[in-house]
Amino acid sequence: MTINIILFNSSLELTKNLGSKKLQHPVFVNDSKRRKNRKAGELLLDISIHYSGMSPDDRTNRGRPDIIHQIMLQYHFSLFNSEAFRKNTSFNPLRLFIHTNQDLVFEVSPEWRVPVSYIRFRGLMEKLLLEGSIEQPPVKVRNLSIEQLLKDKIKPESIILWTEIGEKKFSNELENEKDYLSTDKETVWLIGGYQSGDTPKRIESLVDKKLQIANFSLPSWKVLGNLLAYLEQDL
């Protein structure tokens, strides 16, 4: 019945994960003051703001909440989530799960009016990570590995990984995937939520097919945006 999109290993976390010693760096102290004295450990880690306080290792794949923001906007504004489409259908053809590099998972419901402003998004994510939930719409953060999310929650028939090293021809495959929009079977699309680097072997071992949009690296939101556009072409 559904294409389940999972953004995996995304870097959405609070600054406290860096450890209290690093938080003494002026970049966190100053940002904390600028943010109306929000505690230095309770800021959303963002490499574009906190670069100088992050170690070279941290900088490779941490602090990119903008990726999650863009993915949530792509999902929110999909034609499948429009009022016009939803009033004529009884089911939800697309679901979106955000999985983080700390094995936290939350679902983005079609009702969630994702803030278009990054500054508002940041405040909302800080609240979600600090409190573990949002009331309106109900969003709850759970501790789940990708394996648990797949096996215990979604139980898909098929798992596709979208990656630059995947097979080139996706048009036929996408036609097959459209069947999931009208049957009661579940398919999963895995998209990496991190800045760069290979897909972890652990994830690769879970998938049935690897497909590409292009044979070079693209932002996660560009991959999802094009895939949604292709699905929407028939609407």
Query: Rule CB under 8 A: which residues touch a copy of itself?
Result: 34, 46, 48-49, 66, 70, 73-74, 77, 79, 82-84, 115-120, 171, 214-216, 218-219, 222, 225-226, 229-230, 232-233, 235
Q: How far is the CB of 213 from a copy of itself (least distance, A)?
A: 8
Looking at residue 206, the DSSP 8-state letter turns out to be: T
Minimal distance, residue 45 CB to a copy of itself, in Å = 13
Rounded to the nearest whole angstrom, what is the least distance from the CB of residue 73 to a copy of itself in the complex? 8
Read off φ and ψ for residue 226, nearest 5 degrees. Answer: -65, -40
CB of 226 to a copy of itself, least distance (A): 4
Q: Give SS3 for 81.
A: helix
Nearest to 64 by CA among 74, 54, 76: 54
Which of 46/126 has CB closer to a copy of itself? 46
CA pair distance 190, 162, nearest whole angstrom? 6
Distance between CA 66 and CA 48 in Å, rounded? Answer: 10
Q: Where are the beta strands (DSSP E) in the chain?
A: 2-10, 94-100, 104-108, 133-134, 139-140, 142-143, 158-167, 186-192, 209-211
Question: Shortest Cβ distance from residue 33 to a copy of itself (Å)?
Answer: 9
User: In the complex with a copy of itself, which residue's Cβ is closer, 93 or 156?
Assistant: 93
29: tokens are 């102290």
Rounded to the nearest 10 degrees, what angle do helices 171-178 and 220-232 cross at? 60
Estimate to the nearest angstrom the gap between the alpha carbon of 73 and the chain centroid.
10
At closest approach, how far in Å is the CB of 51 from a copy of itself?
Answer: 10
Q: Which is nearer to a copy of itself, 46 or 186 (CB)?
A: 46
Q: Looking at beta carbons only, is 130 or 174 nearer to a copy of itself?
A: 174
Q: Which two tokens stand for residue 31?
A: 């940002």
Between 1 and 174, name the residue whose CB sits nearer to a copy of itself. 174
Q: Which is nearer to a copy of itself, 156 or 166 (CB)?
A: 166
